[in-house]
Every structure is written in structure tokens, then in C-alpha cells.
Copies of this chain bind each other. A is one copy, B any other.
Amino acid sequence: MAGIDSVSIVGTGNVAHHLGKAFRDAGFTISDVFGRNSASANELADLLECSVAPTLNELSGDLVLLCVSDNAVIDLASRISENRRLAYTSGSIPLSSLPNRFFCGVFYPLQTFSKNREINITTVPFLVEGNSVQHESELMKLASKISQHVQSANSSDRLHYHISAVFVNNFVNHLFSKGKAHVEEHGLDWEVLKPLIFETIGKISDLDPLDAQTGPAVRKDEQTIERHLRELEGKSKEIYTLITQSIQQSSKK
């Protein structure tokens, strides 16, 4: 079977949007797109200068790439003709849970995508898996057209990367939300926290986070912890209590 020279994109969300643009910018052919919401599908097709397929089985690319939420992958895969080459972009769905087919694989970008923010795809790690040596190799080649960080990863490894990603991205972002809400509730300026946030990340480049840990929890400064807890309530208070315990349990100091 020939290589993958064109891609059809299913889905119109953040991943579809960013991967589509990456392919387009790399000069790679996007044949068409498909989405439940026709307005979104038309918008994406305009951006990617391709057509909208009227049904899933009229998609014409060499590969059908499912850029849809995790809980839609299995249903969609089962509705696409068995002889089509397929890949999906989900972090946590094991390849073995999809219905049997000749060419099925995973094309997982380990990154967070927001529509209103550009991203340099060449630095995004792609974790690739195929249900055959040939299909995996084709997907690796495809990923290499848009990223410099492509690696093969089985479903278990991908799941563990995804779990870690939830901690270091989704949960971290939520703590930013909590920090922002706290200062704003008290009429204070969120911008004042930004240099601290940038340094928090800067440290990641050259320190082990266990060694970089500072603050009242790791110092076991119970007076400060009490002073903070008196000002908190609800989920913020629960999060403060639990993470403080967890820091104290993990501490090397």
C-alpha cells in the first residue's frame, strides 16, 4: 500500500484546528473535513482550503484522522469503512479497545490546544502507535512532517503520559484559576503574580521539582498554614489542605 499523501480530518475542535493548520502550513494535502456541526465544519474547511464531506464514508484522504473527544472515538471508528486507514488523537483510549480493522493507529499530540492561541507544532511531542508495523511507520512519517519530536509509544505508555499531562497542565491551570480568583475576590491585581508563575516554570528547566519546592508546607510552617486556611473556604480550602499534606509526605527535607 502506498504512503499517506493526504489526510481527512474528522472533528472541528481545538485539535482538528491546530493539526489541520500544521498540515496546511507544512504543504501537506488535507482532502476534506467532516463534523457534526456543519457551520464549524465549513469554517474549518475555509481555513484549511478544502471541502466538507457530506458523510464519513465520503471522506477521500489516504488517512482518516479522528480529532474528536475521547468518548466519540470508538463510535466514529465503527462507522468508518473497514478498509480505510484510520488514526485517532486521544491520549487515554487503548488501541485494543477499537473495533478490529486493517489499519488503525494513534496520532497523539502531547500538548494543550486553545483556538485563540497559536502554537509551534514542531516542538510538540507526538506519540504514535499502529496496529501493524507498516501503519505505525506511515503514521511516524506523517507526524515527522509537522513535528521534530515523534516517538512510538504503546497504549499503556501513552496512558501514563496522559495522566501526567493532566497533573502538569489541566490541574496546574486550575490552580492558576484558583490563585486568580483569590486575589480578584480581594480586589487585588492578578498581574502581580505573573513573574512568580514564570519563575515557577523557569525552575523546571534546571531543577528537579522536588528540590525546587518552597513555601509553608515544605517548611512545615504550621502558623502560616493556619493563617492561610482561615482565609479560605470550599474547594480552595480542601485543595490547600490536601496538597499541603501531600507536599509534606513527599518532602525530602
Contact = CB atoms under 8 A, between A and B. Distances in A.
Interface in A84-102: 91-92
Contacts of A176: 167-168, 172, 204, 209, 212
A186 B157 contact: yes
Interface string A199-228: 111111111111111111111010110011
Given A174-B243, A242-B239, A197 B219 contact: no
A182 interface: yes
A22 to B, nearest CB: 14
A176 B171 CA distance: 10
Given A176-B204, A201-B201, A203-B173, A111 B238 contact: no
Contacts of A177: 209-210, 213, 250
A123 interface: yes
A215 B207 CA distance: 27
A189 to B, nearest CB: 9
A160 B180 contact: no
A80 B151 CA distance: 61
Interface residues of A, number: 95
Interface in A146-200: 149, 151, 156-157, 159-183, 186, 188, 192-200
B228 A162 contact: yes
B14 A214 contact: yes
30 contacts: A69-B221, A70-B223, A110-B195, A112-B200, A114-B212, A157-B188, A160-B182, A160-B188, A165-B179, A166-B215, A166-B217, A167-B176, A167-B182, A168-B197, A169-B197, A170-B215, A170-B216, A171-B239, A171-B240, A172-B175, A173-B214, A174-B209, A175-B175, A176-B209, A176-B212, A177-B250, A181-B250, A197-B201, A235-B245, A238-B242
Nearest 4 CB-CB pairings of A with B: A170-B215, A168-B179, A176-B209, A167-B179
Given A164-B188, A172-B172, A239-B242, 13 more contacts: A14-B214, A111-B195, A116-B211, A117-B202, A149-B195, A163-B228, A167-B179, A168-B175, A168-B200, A171-B240, A172-B175, A176-B209, A177-B209
